[in-house]
Structure 1
Amino acid sequence: MRYKPARGGTLINGSGRIWEVEDVRQWAAGGATFQCTYVNDSLQHLNTCVTVGNLKTGENYQVGIGAASPLTDPFLGQSFGDKQVLGGITNISDGINAPFYFGYDNGASSGPGELTAAVFPYGGSLHWGYGIGTLAGGRQFRKVATRAYNANDGQGGKTAYLHFYPGANAELPVHDWTVLQDPTLTADKAWWWNANLGSPLMGLNRNQADRKMPSYATVAEREIVWNLTSNGNPFITQVTETMDPGHADAKIRRTQQAIDDFGNLLWRKEYAFGSTTVLAREYEYAYETGSAYTSKFIRNLLKTVKLRRPGDTELTVVSNSYDQYGQFPCGGLYSSPTVLLTAMTGSGVTLHDTANYGTGQWVRGNLTRAGSSTSQRCSSYTTGGTVKQAWDGYGHAVTVTPD
């Protein structure tokens, strides 16, 4: 990433305005993949971002900035000078000229700059309406109150309504519930949130329901239980889903899980359909813990997955190995070749740290063998992490030539 010079300066990377983006698709060393230009005005607004060099893709855009208009406080109406907002974005690739337009403050001559409309190239549009929310301590904020769309299909616009609790003069630190009503007013979705001040779970979803309107009859509901890892990160530990709750033919399903401090799934339990106590199956997950990987903070490499069912033999459904270069991880079945790590070659190698991550650096986390008790697959890689060759235990092989 390279940035434009500061205003009045000549040295690159002197401002926050992106000038060039270079990634691995660029063949020329020091070349750009994307290049951006700016309008020569007082604020130097973004003008275009286009693909350059060997890339000829549809990622070429021109940005339109709206005329200046007064910026006003949505609560008290206080003025804060003028603002200029994004008026539109046009895809200018190969004469496509597909514009997206944006509207603010419902077309008012002044306002807080709230996005109220987005018009798509073929005429469809989205619209938003805003209101004021109040939470504990009298804190006020702007929130979306309605969301409408027009598919440009001759059927006119359709509006979905958002409702929140608490409303004015609230005492809770966050919304306790939210309801999204269907434009036809025949159905809605409701969410309930943890509103306990100071709780590490505050603001997280605890229940969700799909309901018929206007009777508010629940047709499906989901109860969510959260827990904390040992380092204090919240995660979902149990989900209980019920279809047609309150009916004699109601159906229930429950799953449970646990994760470690790095977000890796440790185990997952699935209960028999219709029961919250009869266990149907349990999966246990294990990960690579070798010091060669943990010292590089690579902690998410799945090693094995084991399946257990009541009254049945434990089954290993996944068994993975990593970075087995120079070995025969598929056991030489059907003359399976040695797993290799080969250097990237050609003019396209511009951003790779070959000196430190050449073929001698084997600790990469590349999956070289994936298998189970009944099948296995092996892969060779380039130093850029691209699969060079892959084969199974039945004599089938694929060779990949990257561009």
Structure 2
Amino acid sequence: MSHRRPTVKGSFTLSNPAVRAWLFQILAIVAVVVIAIYLVHNTVTNLNNRGITSGFAFLDRAAGFGIVQHLIDYEQGDTYGRVFLVGLLNTLLVSALCIVFASFLGFFLGLARLSENWLLRKLSTIYIETFRNIPPLLQIFFWYFAVLRNLPGPRQAVNAMDLLFLSNRGLYIPSPQMGEGLLAFAAAVIVAAIISVGLFRFNKAHQIKTGQLRRTWPAALGLIIVLPLMTHWFFGAALHWDIPQLRGFNFQGGMVLIPELAALTIALSVYTSAFIAEIIRSGIQSVPHGQHEAARSLGLPHPVTLRQVIIPQALRVIIPPLTSQYLNIAKNSSLAAAIGYPDMVSLFAGTVLNQTGQAIETIAITMSVYLLISLSISLLMNIYNRRIALIER
């Protein structure tokens, strides 16, 4: 009669689930490493066969092409590394503008969707259902080709007090130039802000101690206005303005908001604001109705109830999906390449790649930049989300 040998718990055999789990994980890691080594070796071999050198030395070579918009000084003889900085700043610019505009517009539309006014509620519903169901690329094409490119030329530009000029070349506005009193002006603004914050905290402590309410904003507003004006009188102007003027077939001087940037900003802001509006609406509706009734029983006006009671509680529901929309804005900004806006994708993964042939390096840099931007946005939003989260004790 045969007897089966009993298995010992913790023995290193395949019948042990823990051993099998570790074995499968080790095999998976080995497979991933082998595949990665094969891909790297295959890529290096193909590059060598085609005579393509790898590495990032190309960043020190002269680019030799112009860029229509650059937030830092740039000339055609500058390096590809400089092109990278120009594209990065242009990407950050359009992302920041769209985040700000989409947030304000989405917040207003979300409140309008809950308004008791029938017309306002229906108009906001039509806006949301229309723009969030049209692909963002088509909206960019609409604003760029159908609207902005059909504006009059520079000689027939729309003129606003000889300061602002709108044409199919873009919006030309006065450009600020540093003046001799800039440092004193900045110091005055910082001092006024510090004093205002201190005054606010002092009045808040006084209200908690005595119950008497003291308004801070009149004194703070006076400080912010008076102190910088005093530095202007004593130290001179902080800024001088370069006014654009029509010379020949285009404007010279000032700053220009090119049509590509305007179309991209408007389209992405309008598109994303429709989603943000629904996030705001759902966040406000998630607050129990008893909170509204409690505020009403205390006699609080509706604006105060919304600002002090409802919105702070709704933010805990709003922030996580709002973070996703901010990430979408940063990633959707890559659609700028479709209309020639000089962002990271258009400049680095487009023009630089075609000129240098460094496909792996340029694509890797571009992907890393977008990954870093997204992670930075997520980090900042998560920090804010933790600050407003409810803490159970």
Q: Calculate the TM-score normalised by the size of structure 2.
A: 0.16
Q: Calculate the TM-score normalised by the size of structure 1.
A: 0.16
Q: Which has the higher strand share?
A: 1
Q: Which has the higher helix share?
A: 2
Structure with more relative contact order (C-alpha pairs < 8 Å, separation 6 or more): 2
